[in-house]
Amino acid sequence: MINPSNLEQTLLEKGKLSLLEQVEHIPNMANIHYIRQKEPLGLGHAILCAKPFVGNEPFAVLLGDDIMMSSPPALKQLMHVYEAHGGQIVGVKKVPHEEVSKCGILSADEPNNRTYQVRDLIEKPVPHEAPSNVAIMGRYILMPSIFSALEKIERGAGNEYQLTDALRMICRSEGLLALELNGERYDIGDKIGYVKAIMEMALQRGDMQSELASYLQELVTKRARTDNRNIAAI
């Protein structure tokens, strides 16, 4: 495997300056710090691990298995609500009722301009016990007070420390807002969701769009011909 410095040197030596520029741009986009969650103890525990990095500042949480395609970006939508109201905010979208058992679900008042005042939350309820089909989508703006709540919760669903349980405490003590996000969401923890996300993102790239669209059309046509031949054989 080529390490980053060797990769950059190789691209330079081969005259692939456009690729070199892309590679060099990535580490300049942000200052990256990381900490490893040593055990899979849940999202709440993972966020608590970041406490030394956050300090006393509001911060955003973006879950890597939830891909949002939107303009403005999902986090920017939450930032607009934060700038207007402050406090802790979660991004949500409505999901089919059969999928509520996979998500954190809201009990909330009717939305005002897509913004909910949250009354309660429940992590991965069985469908007939779900208070709604409004689900948390893996985008959050949180305040440092969330850490105190995370330190108090016990293991919940899946025997893990659930962020949803800490947000329930925040909901009761400080209040909690939820914004229904505009845009398409892809769950790349699901195999089909992963493929859909790759296709959608590739089709938005100017250097891939035309060739990929042609290939997909060809693939669909070929599949249709195969299905017709199979039907004829029957």
CA dist 67 → 62, 73, 185 (Å): 9, 11, 6
Mean pLDDT in the chain?
A: 89
Residue whose pair of structure tokens reads 């025997």 in the numeric block: 159
Q: 91 with 199, same domain?
A: no
Q: 180 with 202, same domain?
A: no
**What was the pLDDT predicted at 32?**
80
Q: 106 with 88, same domain?
A: yes
Q: 95 with 135, same domain?
A: yes
pLDDT range class, residue 1, cuts 50, 70, 90: very low
**What was the pLDDT predicted at 173?**
93
Q: What is the pLDDT of residues 130-145, one digit of tens each?
A: 999 999 999 999 999 9
Q: 51 with 145, same domain?
A: yes
Domain-located, residue 148: yes
Q: Which of 167, 186, 205 is the last residue of a domain?
A: 186
Domain-located, residue 168: yes
What's phi and psi for 195, nearest 5 deg? -65, -45
**What was the pLDDT predicted at 27?**
80
- The domain that contains 89 carries what CATH number? 3.90.550.10
pLDDT range class, residue 3, cuts 50, 70, 90: low
pLDDT range class, residue 5, cuts 50, 70, 90: low
Domain-located, residue 229: no
Q: 164 with 58, same domain?
A: yes
Distance of CA 210 to the CA centre of its chain: 28
Instruction: Name beta bridge partners: 193.
Output: none
Domain-located, residue 31: no
Domain-located, residue 72: yes
CA dist 7 → 11, 26, 31 (Å): 6, 13, 20
Q: 192 with 170, same domain?
A: no
pLDDT range class, residue 180, cuts 50, 70, 90: very high
Q: What is the mean pLDDT of residues 155-169?
A: 90
Question: In the structure encoding, which two tokens stand for residue 141, read together?
Answer: 């703006």
Domain-located, residue 27: no
Domain containing 136 equals: 44-186
Q: 94 with 171, same domain?
A: yes
Q: 166 with 209, same domain?
A: no
Q: 174 with 204, same domain?
A: no
pTM: 0.81
Number of domains in the chain: 2
Q: 53 with 85, same domain?
A: yes
Instruction: Name beta bridge partners: 117.
Output: 177
Q: What is the mean pLDDT of residues 119-140?
A: 91
pLDDT range class, residue 161, cuts 50, 70, 90: very high
- For residue 169, with 0-12 CB atoms within 10 Å meaning exposed, 13-18 middle and 19 or more buried, which class applies? middle
Domain-located, residue 180: yes
Q: What is the mean pLDDT of residues 15-28?
A: 88
Q: Is the pLDDT of residue 177 over 60?
A: yes
Residue 69: partners with Cβ closer than 8 Å, 6 or more residues away: 183, 184, 185, 186, 197, 200, 201, 204
Q: What is the mean pLDDT of residues 112-122?
A: 92
**What was the pLDDT predicted at 77?**
96
Rounded Cα distance between 106 and 92, Å, is: 9
Q: 117 with 212, same domain?
A: no
Q: Is the pLDDT of residue 97 over 60?
A: yes
Q: What is the mean pLDDT of residues 190-201?
A: 92
Q: What is the pLDDT of residues 29-74, one digit of tens each?
A: 888 888 888 888 999 999 999 999 898 999 999 998 889 999 999 9
